[in-house]
Structure 1
Amino acid sequence: MASNFMITEGNPIIRNHYTADPTVLVHNGSIYLYTGHDDPPAGVDDYHMHDWLCFSSTDLVHWNEHPFPLKATDFSWASGDAYASKVIGYRGRFCWFVSVTHAGGPHKAIGVAVSDNPVGPFRDARGAALITHDMLPPTDNEKANLDPTVLVDDDGAAYMFWGNGQCYFARLTGDLTALEGEIAVVDLPGFSEGAHIHKRDGIYYLAYGYGYPEKVAYATSRKIEGPWEFRGILNEIAGNCATNRPAVVDFRGESYFFYHNGALPGGGSHRRSVCVDRLYYEEDGSLRRVVMTTEGVRGSR
């Protein structure tokens, strides 16, 4: 059951919560938006993220909020911290890949939850982390396992990209609940975090947070394994928010770029808000730089 109905013409598109790190999918004529949830106590300017939120729309203006789809401690092996995530539909179910803090550590880990319904409830698919810190090439970065993004390719093979300060890549097994093969390092200039992978007309697009404060840059390849060609800046710094995490989706014949800024009252780097603007492809397959607007898309026609 939807617990809240909102009409928002313009950005940010969600205004009853601070939301961040969008991931989106289209299912049965609706678009489903999954976000992180910034929830620091009053007077605290730091990351406090305990759960993820879910919203759906048929026109990008009228939004339903769906309650309690997933929280970090739904993973028994996690101590908390609901970082950026990725949701995909796959073989009749929905898989939610998340980054959390592993219990007993400061190290981050990646898990996967599943549901038969895009609005949940979701349950841990493994009962253990999918990727832990000790599986990576040697690194002292305790946040290395951040921000998973997943692509199921045309032949059914599935791949994950993720990372903080360094981008990693691995193939997933057929049920998406384990790795198939070794973890590889992807060399991308200025890679910070917040990777997003998608494919269009035979071209793979890997967008990511670039530098700090983060712009969004992207690279392209004709093969999922690379090599990757750096293509430049896709989205500028939001201004009052030091991070960004892109999500790209096609919906009703148009392409859209989801991101976050700090535009709501009281907002900033630790009280972020999800926005959406149009995305355009050039004839050579490159991406036109996204223009962030307060007007937003005003509904998908």
Structure 2
Amino acid sequence: MRCDVITHGNPIITETFTSDPTVLVHDGTTYLYTGHDEAGPGAERFVMRDWLCFSSTDLLSWTPHGPLLRVEDFAWARDGAKASCVVERHGKFWWYLAMNHATVPGGAIGVAVADHPTGPFRDAIGATLVTNDVPDDDGRDHTNDPFVLVHDDRAYLYWGKHRCFWAPLDDSMTALAGPVTEIELPAFEEGVHVHHRNGWFYLSFGHLYPQRVAYARSRSPEGPWTVEGLVNEVPGNCATNRVAIVEFGGEWFCFYHDGTAPGGDARRRSVCVDRLHHDADGRIARVHMTTEGLRG
């Protein structure tokens, strides 16, 4: 049954714990896709089995659409419904997701596809798109937090943990179309996100630990990138930090998660949103994380 969740500031979703936001704007509606934190209070590890979706036409009231995908929908996956990204191309909606692999050490990135932003989604290829040995295996898992940018009818996949990578996607959106390139970023942790505005590409990423979000700029989605400052500071009661930056209604917004909801903590997170501004030179003014959110 569909019902509206009316929020009164940050966090914007209060009925369940949500994390790792990714946002798609389609036909005047904003679709917010999130992870789902199910760990108990004070847990020492994440428990994440599925991904949720909420939609809004004003960013103030949100309609839940329930879990749209579960780890078990991917035959090759074991557990760990990590961060994701949804994009539109060729009249379809492509959902790139990170999970732990069932048989290969470490994690992997897969892709699902649907004809509508709320699905139904299905595994697009029945296999992984990227595994932990791409481009090489240094003993750490680098397959976190996929992000896809579609620009000038080309698609670019970015991902990484401790090391950041990008590669072009082919026209099918289900295979790499060129070499994997590492992006050198200072104290890169995870959570890469790229947005485009007025000829500039902005690459935001988790920086240091506990994580702030820093950003770099380039005139090309392929770089080179120049680090220029912070997007936001360490979120309240939470050591991780991943943003989703989107334009809606002529304004820019920054979605992120924190641990400030009742009963929340670093493994029971909640998505928030505040306005984001660019200065006259196109640089990002640091986002002030508020309890009032967009109602302030």
Task: Compute the TM-score of the two structures, normalised by the length of structure 1.
Answer: 0.96
What is residue 56 of structure 2 aligned with on the other side? Answer: 57
What is residue 22 of structure 2 aligned with on the other side? Answer: 23
| Cα separation, 2, equivalents of 1:204 and 1:55 | 27
Letter in 2 for 1:284: D
| Cα separation, 2, equivalents of 1:234 and 1:68 | 29
Residue 101, structure 1, aligned to residue 100, structure 2: yes
Letter in 2 for 1:67: G
Letter in 1 for 2:2: S
What is residue 257 of structure 1 aligned with on the other side? Answer: 254
Report if the CA contact (8 A) 1:3-1:67 is conserved: no
Letter in 2 for 1:186: I
Pick from 147, 159, 169 the counterpart of residue 166 of structure 2. Answer: 169
- How has the CA–CA distance of structure 1 residues 105 and 137 changed in structure 2, closer, same or farther, with 3 Å as cutoff? closer
| Cα separation, 2, equivalents of 1:164 and 1:4 | 37
What is residue 145 of structure 1 aligned with on the other side? Answer: 143
What is residue 2 of structure 2 aligned with on the other side? Answer: 3
What is residue 181 of structure 1 aligned with on the other side? Answer: 178
Shift of residue 187, structure 1, vs aligned partner: 0.3
Shift of residue 198, structure 1, vs aligned partner: 1.1
Shift of residue 79, structure 1, vs aligned partner: 0.8
RMSD of aligned alpha carbons: 1.2
Q: Which runs of 5+ in 1 are unaligned?
A: none
Q: Deviations over 1:83-102 (max 9, x none)?
A: 00000111211100000011
**1:75-86 to 2 correspondence within 5 Å?**
75-86=74-85
Three-state SS of the structure 2 residue aligned to 1:134 is coil
Three-state SS of the structure 1 residue aligned to 2:237 is coil
Shift of residue 232, structure 1, vs aligned partner: 1.2
Residue 248, structure 1, aligned to residue 245, structure 2: yes
What is residue 209 of structure 1 aligned with on the other side? Answer: 206
What is residue 197 of structure 1 aligned with on the other side? Answer: 194
Report if the CA contact (8 A) 1:86-1:98 is conserved: yes
Shift of residue 134, structure 1, vs aligned partner: 2.2
Pick from 285, 288, 294 the counterpart of residue 288 of structure 1. Answer: 285
| Cα separation, 2, equivalents of 1:97 and 1:212 | 25
| Cα separation, 2, equivalents of 1:230 and 1:296 | 27
Using the TM superposition, name which of 130-139 and 197-206 deviates more.
130-139
What is residue 125 of structure 2 aligned with on the other side? Answer: 126
Letter in 2 for 1:147: D
Report if the CA contact (8 A) 1:22-1:36 is conserved: yes
Report if the CA contact (8 A) 1:36-1:51 is conserved: yes
Three-state SS of the structure 1 residue aligned to 2:191 is strand
What is residue 227 of structure 1 aligned with on the other side? Answer: 224
| Cα separation, 1, equivalents of 2:44 and 2:238 | 12
Shift of residue 43, structure 1, vs aligned partner: 5.4
Shift of residue 72, structure 1, vs aligned partner: 1.4
Letter in 1 for 2:217: T
Task: Compute the TM-score of the two structures, normalised by the length of structure 2.
Answer: 0.97
Shift of residue 182, structure 1, vs aligned partner: 1.1
Report if the CA contact (8 A) 2:205-2:242 is conserved: yes
Pick from 236, 256, 269 the counterpart of residue 272 of structure 1. Answer: 269
Q: Deviations over 1:240-264 (max 9, x none)?
A: 1000100011111111000000011
Shift of residue 167, structure 1, vs aligned partner: 0.2
Letter in 1 for 2:125: R
Letter in 1 for 2:13: I
Letter in 1 for 2:120: P
Q: Deviations over 1:220-274 (max 9, x none)?
A: 0011221100011110001310001000111111110000000111111100000
Shift of residue 106, structure 1, vs aligned partner: 3.9
| Cα separation, 1, equivalents of 2:67 and 2:193 | 24
| Cα separation, 2, equivalents of 1:32 and 1:281 | 23
What is residue 36 of structure 1 aligned with on the other side? Answer: 35
Q: Deviations over 1:167-223 (max 9, x none)?
A: 011000011100011111000111100010111111110001000000000000011
| Cα separation, 2, equivalents of 1:213 and 1:34 | 24
Three-state SS of the structure 1 residue aligned to 2:295 is coil
